[in-house]
Structure 1
């Protein structure tokens, strides 16, 4: 039976999140004095809001209750994250912004109990930030992890890391890092050639070369280029087995890609709200913009695509909750929601005119942010290849109902 009714528990989370954003987060966002130089919320206001969110029981939703989180299922996260991103600052307030969100999720699922105490708990509590260190400059690995060139060489109980990484989100503010490196030197080995490791920012043998300038607003800690020149990591800080780094990335990135979609839907709905509010009162040539057929067609088209994105996202969330990797479901959501976010921001700016292009509204922020959506966690073209491969294998079964 297909049922899109939210459970009472999920509806309560949705309402509480919406009310919190309305009462506490949007007023802080509206005052530019609360922004930092990178167009994110400054640390002072963030700390105050996080304390309120924690006190309201709306903090670290992706982590099981016994580890200090809310213990939400993937479907529950979809409900909450969409409401959280009614404000551009919402996800980081609730401790469900990338990259911490995906890092907490994977550490909660696969780290050893000792590793969870050392590496996970401080992130869950909001005392530390984290980064996921995988992407490399050419000719290293990007969407194809088989090309990763950063090496981890074993010497007894120590691994020594050499190589370069870049576009590492949050690195400049991170305390804890998950690193993916090559441990099998055989260039023809592309399945068990990678291993995942944990390290702290204070360990010697690595450095941030630069914070890479980007066109959009930045997460806390920016997008950085890193160099490793003999970083020593004890084997006790290895995540899963030797040669299981690709498995770690698959476990992390499947859900992380979908949580991007959850948040982006909230931003797309915010753009719609900004557009609707303005056209309802703006007149031109004696007619309200809201009464013009051309404007109504624009709004209707975006509303349609947002709802399609919500259904694709919920379908993928449900599949993940059933234990499926949901590769094609996540890829479909990722492609569609990334396109829809850009469409919604562009439409809202167009209807607001020069006001939308200015910093008098949040729309230009959303527009700049939206362009990365078709690139992060796999470019849209890569996800279309995933779908083509799935159809090639499955044929008509590609459209079967169920996980």
Structure 2
């Protein structure tokens, strides 16, 4: 096993880090560039995105022939970790959720005509997107078998009725990927869902509210949507009828892991904030950094971050081999979500009142971190995945190869 980065990926890592240091962190440090939801204001974002395009650090998940970087999943792991050294890094490089996962799945599964219409504007930075799956109870959340939003076929058109909620980015999205039930047989388990594409200007649907949340928000927030006869032409169906669950699994496998990549960057940022503070802060005649108890806290978080990096890179490698890497992604998701929260909590504790205040970004990271154990499958669901895999595989659970 060779853990060294290739010269090309090391250069990518260094260029990403230098870009964040020189261009994004100064903007982040100026609170006047933040919007009301604690994200970067769009007028401050635009020049940074233009510079990222010019510097060849744009849309790492998209194909080269459409203007992206065409990176492997393992290369993305390296870049995304460096990108999220800043709170605003991923959105600058056009690799923030949910656009990141939507660009990835459209690049892999949409038809050429669909890519021209729905994908290219996302790659060009001219549109935003949302993935519309989660529903209010008793509808589907972690269990897509419970999805109740219906798509009824009428000739060459599908008519959509139902409700969705906690749809990330919906308030700012132009393009939407919708998962709806097309086989209404209650016994159907694998072919009951279909994916569709629609534009925000299409009639027959509305955003009923932007849901207030605990943490800072992505552009477009987290919204509740109502569908009352939205009509979608069959040409805007994504993959085949009944392939909605398959598409969801393909998209979410990589998307869950890219969350981990970004969260590792945030965890390292929290550590850096803490290190900066304890290096100079003194109490009772000694620097905090020289206290054994403080060193133990920092060492534990550093240990957990490195475990998360190894789990994430192993899952990325398996995805690059064509494996679904289901259990590897679940292991990374559980561990990195916990680690992000622990890193932010430790940083706040060590920075004291300053950490709890908005003078430092660790309180932002702390509030953001709490969602990590929920989004794209709660940690308990991923533990169920691991338990099921072990029950089926036994000692083969720990196989090294692909």
TM-score normalized with structure 2 length: 1.00
Query: Residue 70 of structure 1: CA displacement?
Result: 0.3
1: CA distance, partners of 2:157 / 2:150: 13
2: CA distance, partners of 1:67 / 1:49: 20
Matched with 1:269 is 268
Secondary structure, aligned partner of 1:231: strand
Query: Residue 402 of structure 1: CA displacement?
Result: 1.2
Query: Residue 10 of structure 1: CA displacement?
Result: 0.5
**1:90-132 deviations in whole A, cap 9, x for unaligned?**
0000000000000000000000000000000000010000000
1: CA distance, partners of 2:345 / 2:401: 35
Matched with 2:165 is 166
2: CA distance, partners of 1:402 / 1:271: 34
Matches within 5 A, 1:55-94: 55-94=54-93
Query: Residue 190 of structure 1: CA displacement?
Result: 1.5
1: CA distance, partners of 2:250 / 2:100: 13
1: CA distance, partners of 2:121 / 2:63: 14
Matches within 5 A, 1:220-259: 220-259=219-258
2: CA distance, partners of 1:352 / 1:187: 54
2: CA distance, partners of 1:91 / 1:391: 34
2: CA distance, partners of 1:187 / 1:138: 17
How many residues align? The count is 402
1: CA distance, partners of 2:357 / 2:400: 45
Matched with 2:196 is 197
Matched with 1:118 is 117
| 1:280 maps to 2:272 | no
Matches within 5 A, 1:4-403: 4-403=3-402
List gaps (5 residues or longer) in structure 1: none
Query: Residue 304 of structure 1: CA displacement?
Result: 0.1
Query: Residue 322 of structure 1: CA displacement?
Result: 0.1
Query: Residue 313 of structure 1: CA displacement?
Result: 0.2
**1:31-53 deviations in whole A, cap 9, x for unaligned?**
00000000000000100100000
List gaps (5 residues or longer) in structure 2: none
**Consecutive aligned runs of 4 or more in structure 1 exceeding 3 Å deviation:** none
Query: Residue 188 of structure 1: CA displacement?
Result: 1.4
Query: Residue 363 of structure 1: CA displacement?
Result: 0.6
Secondary structure, aligned partner of 2:214: coil
